[in-house]
Amino acid sequence: MVITCEHGGNRIPESYRYLFHNDQALLDSHRGFDPGALSMAKALATEFAAPLVTSTVSRLLVDLNRSIGHPHLHAEVIRNAPAEMRRKILEQCYQPYREQTERLVRQAIVDHGQVIHLSSHSFTPELDGKVRNADIGLLYDPGRQGEVDLCERWKVALKTCAPELRVRRNYPYSGKDDGLTTWFRRQIPAATYIGIELEINQQHIIQTGRHWTVLRKMIVESLCRALGSRYSGISG
């Protein structure tokens, strides 16, 4: 297993901060990063003793879950910047992340014959005036049977661990949309690569008390059940 988190923070490297000096509210919003995604990724990596690749650079500078050439790879201020600046951002932030992830994914296949790549994300409860009707989303490619099977088992396990949760597959986005898992599917056969994006509604992350801690634990436990693993628990 390999765990990644492409939108773990809203940090802007010092050399580019002047471009966002009036945009702190935007950086702090769901457009700047995925709240909770990093702590979820760490919990999964801890439980499964899996390699973890994360970034805390804001997706507004460069979205690590988008392909080069995608219209939303950068925020508008970066899209309008000189080409040399965009090249440096890719060289400093994008390429090292992608290369490290690919190296770990391919090594896992060499070592074990197959890899499960879990990409941790979260989504805003409401977008453009429309309320998202889910607590957890599991994104996958319906044409890859290994991904279909794992997400079906995970959904069943989640409903067992937390029956009150609304768990939907390929919601609020399609698992075949442009993204890191989609890129890997074009490179690696279905027999050896299973790529799943975990999406968690941010309303659970912003709640006070132990709610978010308990939910992380239930998500980890449900994946253990889906994989037939013995659950040993996480702390924190």
Round to whole Å and give the CA distance between 81 and 85: 7
The pLDDT assigned to 63 comes to 98
Domains of the chain (ranges; CATH) run 2-227 (3.40.630.40)
The pLDDT assigned to 229 comes to 58
Q: What value does the CA radius of gyration of the chain take, rounded to a whole number of Å?
A: 18
Residue 234 scores a pLDDT above 60: no
Mean pLDDT over 174-199 rounds to 98
Confidence of residue 208 (pLDDT cuts 50, 70, 90): confident
The pLDDT assigned to 209 comes to 85
**CA 9 to centroid of chain Cα atoms:** 12
The token duo for 20 is: 């966002």
CB neighbours of 117 closer than 8 A, spacing ≥ 6? Answer: 1, 2, 3, 4, 105, 181, 184, 193, 194, 195, 196
The token duo for 19 is: 């471009």
The token duo for 213 is: 């801690």
Residue 166 scores a pLDDT above 80: yes
**Model confidence pLDDT, tens digit, residues 65-124:** 999 999 999 999 999 999 999 999 999 999 999 999 999 999 999 999 999 999 999 999
Round to whole Å and give the CA distance between 111 and 121: 27
Round to whole Å and give the CA distance between 4 and 151: 17
Mean pLDDT over 46-62 rounds to 98
